[in-house]
Chains A and B, each alone.
Chain A
Amino acid sequence: MIAYSANHPVGDFIRANLPAPLAALANGALSVVVLMVLVVVVAILLVWLERKVCARFQARLGPTRVGPFGLLQPIADSLKLLLKENIKPRAVDTLAYFLAPLLPITGSFLVLAVMPFDHNLQVADPQAGMVYIAAVSGMGILGILIGGWGSNNKYSLLGSMRAGAQLFSYELSMVLCMLLVVMASGTGSLREIVLSQQGTVRDWWIFKLPGAGALAFVLYLISSTAELNRGPLDLSEAESELAGGFHTEYSGMGFSMFFLAEFVNMFASAGLGATFFLGGFLAPQFGIGPLDHILAFIPGFIWFFAKTGALIFMYMWFRWTFPRLRIDHLLSLEWKFLLPVSMANLLLAATLVTLGWILP
């Protein structure tokens, strides 16, 4: 095993040249700024990607006119949204109505704070990283619930009640899947979870636990799609039933904050999937000398973004292929299938770990 530095050279430089309290402040401010830039860039890229992917699935071209390959289209879109009037219907609960759009984006922002992008590219690495993720990702649900209730619209109310039922249930199986990896790797810190997958591709948790890892990965994909509120599990939005659901009443920036949160959330979810199951920032190694050297030469954050991008493409693939589930089917899928299966899977993994039946 090679030892990697957890500290970024820039952070070390600031610590070396500034007194301790100032250095902590400067480092904190710097990481917040970097994360914010990342959020914006990721959101813009994902909006473009979604439009392109969706267009290709539908035998269209997607945006082509604004910038090369339509790359500037999301910027034009966001300018339009910025200039739109922020309409506040008369009967809404003002505080709830304006607070709600901020919560989901805050939640996904906080998740990104513990995301290990590279060996030394992580804002914070708490020992209970996975517990922290489970805690802060609940903020998105809160935002949708508050927004739907505060909008004072029956479609929004129905949408947010659906979201409440759906997101709270699916959080269970999602956390159980992550718990499996935490149990197998023996740590809750995201960086150490990644480092526990060092070696070849076979050492990634998706393959390392025979059967259980792959099953957990599939369960994670399904339940995180539900958590993301994306099709086919986008019941709280359900434009053909609820005409937009929880964000029916939102316009301008209120709407775009929900929209932004959806994409950043997707990035965070895919990033977690890559971290827990696909070796995060580690380069895939196949045990073939020269090829491994070339792959390992590519920096870790590129591998992270590549794996995340692959998972994001999966989410988009689901969305533009499947029809939407009905709320009662959705809930019985979780409580009667996903939850028991992920519990059994956790037990199976515990047995495998105890008996040492892990792939060498």
Chain B
Amino acid sequence: MSESMPQGPIQPAPISAAPAVSRTGAPDAVKKSGSLPPGFTLRDVRPDGSHEYFLNMGPQHPSTHGVLKLVVRLDGETVLETVPHLGFIHRAIEKMGENETFIQYMHLTDRMDYLSSHINNLCVCLAIEKAMNIGVPERGEYIRVIVCELQRIQSHLLWWGAFGMDMGAVSAFLYGFIEREKITQLFEELCGARLTMNYFRPGGSNADLPEGFIGKVKTLCEEMKFSLDEFDVLVSQNPIIRERTVGVGLLSKERAISNGCTGPVARASGVNYDVRRNDGYSIYDRFQFDVPLGANGDSFDRYRVRMDEMRQSVRILEQAAAGIPEGQYRSKEKPNYKVPAGSYFAAVETARGLYGTYLVSDNSFKPYRVKSRSPGFSNLSAIDEITRGGKIADLVTVLSTLDLIIPDIDR
């Protein structure tokens, strides 16, 4: 990994000279060596004439889930090295943020991790609230918890479907989407959008919950419990899934911490950290929920932790739906926020891990500088060490269980 830094397509690094490798007995594609990616070298041919080769997985590949490019060094089917190449969907969101007002910048954050739009928005809101000492009314806080947990379930459902599809169980994808659609429809009622939703504002949210929303959430909780049990029968207990995930992509606790992994990926490795519980924001300290932990840090643990997290989210939703008070949903409406000079940080637990927003303000309506800490970037950094020695199919398993959202990594 040391010799090969991840390269974006914008700034290609100088191509290091590959050693002269004679490739007898190999098909033509391998012989043409001018296309070796930057920083890549292949070891010499072995006595039996076989040799290593590299494979460009992505940016157009069905299981990189977006425009991630992985350059993989292979020996037959065995993965020797995986180098992620980033930048295919880099939109300079943080730079754009310097020219937008705080509220406008918030709209950009739901384009980062598009499966955690609400939670990303909440993070910006929390930073602004911290800066300007804005309080949130009781109902507003409950609304935030309900919407964030719905979002977490929605994101995990999509992940579950995509995981099934990556494993070759295409039907699972549809089942995941059927359940996800229910939540998407709730969000559509809530704020009009289905994917890049924007609902939270500093001090609460931009509107009250639509009529009958809490009732629908309660129904959804009941349905989710049933379908999660169904999903367990279909996928979790499937011997093929077990065979393909148990012991695959082992990430130790130490390596998870040193790679900066957060969220389900870290918790599957036994890192007992959840922003909602450890650095509580909003009113998560009022709810009873467990933080599921894995023991081995393999792909199956990552799978199981996410499945358990959905159950815990349902638990939180039930408590929140039962306890939501009447009253104001937003403390004080303002079209714009003039944030006092200084730097502010807020962190939230998205479906993928710790998402942080760092705002630097020079006492104006626009941030002087913004920086996002996205969970996907750190989680991706573990991919090389945990896929080494596995098969190509294991690489797909690991990619799927890391649950990467590429726009979140590139920003």
A residues sitting closer than 8 Å to B (CB atoms) are: 54, 57-60, 91, 149, 152-155, 157-158, 162, 231-232, 234, 238-243, 320-329
Contacts and interface: CB of A to CB of B under 8 A. Distances in A.
B20 interface: no
Contacts of B240: 232, 322-325, 329
Contacts of A59: 174-175, 178
A325 B243 CA distance: 8
6 contacts: A60-B174, A152-B28, A154-B55, A231-B168, A243-B61, A323-B235
Contacts of B324: none
Given A154-B53, A326-B394, A327-B391, 11 more contacts: A59-B178, A60-B174, A149-B27, A152-B27, A152-B29, A154-B30, A162-B77, A232-B168, A243-B61, A323-B168, A324-B393
A91 B61 CA distance: 21
Nearest to A326: B393
A154 B178 CA distance: 36
B167 interface: yes
Interface in B21-79: 27-30, 32, 53, 55, 61-63, 77
Contact of B391 (A234, A320, A324, A328): A328
Interface in B213-257: 235, 238, 240-241, 243-244
B209 interface: no
A54 B28 CA distance: 38
B169 interface: yes
A326 B391 contact: yes
Nearest to A239: B62
Interface residues of B, number: 34
B164 interface: yes
A153 B28 CA distance: 9
Contacts of B394: 326
Given A326-B244, A328-B391, A58 B171 contact: yes
Nearest to B29: A152
Given A57-B171, A158-B392, A240 B243 contact: no
Contact of B244 (A57, A58, A162, A323): A323
B284 to A, nearest CB: 35
Contacts of B391: 326-328
A315 B391 CA distance: 27
A157 B25 CA distance: 13
Contacts of A154: 29-30, 53, 55
B54 to A, nearest CB: 9
B132 interface: no
A241 B77 CA distance: 11
B249 to A, nearest CB: 13
Nearest to B393: A326
Contacts of B29: 91, 152-154, 157
A60 B166 CA distance: 20
Contact of A321 (B27, B55, B61, B171): B171
Interface string B146-169: 000000000000000000111111
Contacts of A321: 169, 171
Interface string B333-360: 0000000000000000000000000000
Contacts of B175: 58-59
Contacts, number: 89
Interface string B380-397: 000000000001111010
Contacts of B172: 323
Contacts of A152: 27-29
Nearest to A319: B170
A311 to B, nearest CB: 20
Contacts of B62: 239-240, 243
Contacts of B32: 91
Given A58-B175, A59-B175, A153-B29, A323 B63 contact: no
B322 to A, nearest CB: 31
Contacts of B241: 323
A240 B171 contact: no
Contacts of A155: 55
A98 to B, nearest CB: 17
Given A154-B55, A240-B63, A241-B396, A234 B174 contact: no
Nearest to B172: A323
A238 B168 contact: yes
B193 to A, nearest CB: 25
Contacts of A243: 61-62
B230 to A, nearest CB: 12
A106 B241 CA distance: 35
- In order of increasing CB-CB distance, the 6 nearest A-B pairs are A324-B168, A323-B167, A58-B174, A323-B169, A326-B393, A240-B63
Contacts of A238: 168, 393
Most buried by A among B30, B32, B53, B168: B168
A158 B168 contact: no
B243 A326 contact: yes
Given A158-B77, A322-B240, A240 B165 contact: yes
Nearest to B248: A326
Contacts of A157: 27, 29
A264 to B, nearest CB: 22
B320 to A, nearest CB: 30
A57 B32 CA distance: 45
A241 to B, nearest CB: 5
B98 to A, nearest CB: 39
Contacts of A329: 240, 243-244
B174 A323 contact: no
B19 to A, nearest CB: 20
A151 B214 CA distance: 57
A157 B166 CA distance: 20
Nearest to A157: B27
B24 to A, nearest CB: 16
Contact of A241 (B169, B170, B238, B392): B392
A320 B77 contact: no
Contacts of A320: 170-171
Contacts of A158: 77, 392
A239 B175 CA distance: 19
A240 B62 CA distance: 6
Most buried by B among A57, A58, A155, A240: A240
Contacts of A324: 167-169, 240, 393
A162 B392 CA distance: 12
Nearest to A234: B168
Nearest to A55: B174
Given A60-B174, A152-B29, A241 B243 contact: no
Contact of B77 (A54, A234, A327): A327
A323 B392 contact: no
Nearest to A324: B168
Contacts of A162: 77
Contacts of A322: 168-169, 238, 240
Most buried by B among A238, A326, A329: A326
Nearest to B174: A58
